[in-house]
């Protein structure tokens, strides 16, 4: 899952990035609305974690602005403002969820997963392809009811392909989804991951289309 964190406090950013990356999230960071706008233009994010109080342009203003432009990236508003009025204002501005600081990290993870389920899988938390079961909440994969050990990147790629089942996913899309803005990958990393997934799960699961990308039928 690829996240964009828009937050001006360096200590909070560092904590969130560290914790979320450890959980297998791919995290990009923007210090203000301007930077976030640029990143939203060039990348696609599964969820944006947005702080309310930002320098120059407030998070809520920014949210209204992107919703007005037709950007429907799911947004989790993360803020110190905790009154009901604030929550109502935040959700009405276009936020999908609202979490007040200080928050429990487990709750943040659960909410991110819930938003993801709602936006990608109409609320389901499991994807079944033939004899393979992907559990999106626990981020585990079972083949014939047997747990299959996958690395974070392997799981991310499998989930990405499963969610986009029936559609070809290009190398660029995979690169954007699995790595953050500051990382550069060597050309055959994706190929290696696909090779490993085929070995661990099934040779027939992931199909290649030369020069176009990969897909699951």
CB of 102 to other proteins, least distance (A): 4
Query: Which residue number, 80 or 128, has a Cβ lying nearer to other proteins?
Result: 80
Query: Which residue number, 119 or 180, has a Cβ lying nearer to other proteins?
Result: 180
Q: Which of 64, 67, 81, 143 binds other proteins (CB under 8 A)?
A: 81
Task: Write the DSSP assignment of 104-159 as a string of letters.
Answer: -HHHHHHHHHHHHHHHHHTT--EEEETTEEEETTTTEEEETTEEE---HHHHHHHH
- Cα(193)–Cα(205) distance, rounded to whole angstroms? 13
- Cα(99)–Cα(51) distance, rounded to whole angstroms? 10
22 is a site residue for other proteins (CB under 8 A):
yes
Supply the angle between the helices 33-42 and 59-68 in degrees, to the nearest 10: 30
Instruction: Please return the burial class of 59, using the count of CB atoms within 10 Å of its CB with bins 0-12, 13-18 and 19+.
Output: buried
Which residue in this structure is represented by tokens 């392909």?
A: 161
The set of residues, in sequence order, having a beta carbon less than 8 Å from that of 39 and lying 6+ positions away, is 4, 28, 30, 45, 181
Q: Report yes or no: 1 and 156 within 8 Å, Cβ to Cβ.
A: yes
Which among 99-107, 117-125, 150-158, 168-176 is the span making contact with other proteins, rule CB under 8 A? 99-107
CB of 67 to other proteins, least distance (A): 24
Query: Which residue number, 4 or 33, has a Cβ lying nearer to other proteins?
Result: 33
103 is a site residue for other proteins (CB under 8 A):
yes
Query: Which residue number, 54 or 150, has a Cβ lying nearer to other proteins?
Result: 54
Q: Using CB under 8 A as the criterion, what x/- string covers residues 34-73 for binding other proteins? A: -------------------x-xx-----------------
172 is a site residue for other proteins (CB under 8 A):
no
Residues that bind other proteins (CB under 8 A): 8-12, 15-16, 18-19, 22, 31-32, 53, 55-56, 80-82, 101-106
């Amino acid at each position: 899952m690829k996240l964009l964190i828009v937050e001006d406090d360096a200590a909070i950013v560092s904590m969130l990035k560290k914790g979320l990356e450890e959980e297998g999230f791919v995290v990009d960071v923007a210090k203000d609305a301007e930077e976030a706008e640029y990143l939203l233009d060039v990348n696609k994010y599964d969820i944006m974690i947005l702080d309310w109080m930002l320098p120059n342009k407030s998070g809520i203003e920014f949210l209204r602005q992107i919703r007005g432009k037709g950007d429907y990236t799911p947004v989790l508003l993360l803020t110190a403002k905790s009154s009901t009025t604030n929550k109502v204002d935040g959700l009405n501005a276009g936020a999908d969820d609202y979490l007040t600081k200080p928050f429990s990290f487990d709750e943040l993870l659960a909410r991110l997963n819930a938003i993801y389920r709602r936006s990608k899988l109409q609320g389901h938390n499991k994807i079944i392809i033939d004899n393979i079961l992907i559990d999106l909440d626990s981020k585990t994969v079972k083949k014939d009811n047997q747990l299959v050990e996958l690395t974070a990147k392997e799981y991310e790629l499998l989930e990405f392909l499963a969610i986009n089942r029936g559609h070809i996913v290009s190398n660029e899309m995979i690169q954007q989804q699995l790595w953050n803005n500051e990382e550069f990958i060597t050309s055959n990393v994706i190929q290696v991951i696909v090779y490993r997934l085929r070995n661990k799960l099934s040779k027939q699961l992931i199909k290649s289309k030369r020069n176009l990308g990969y897909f699951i039928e």
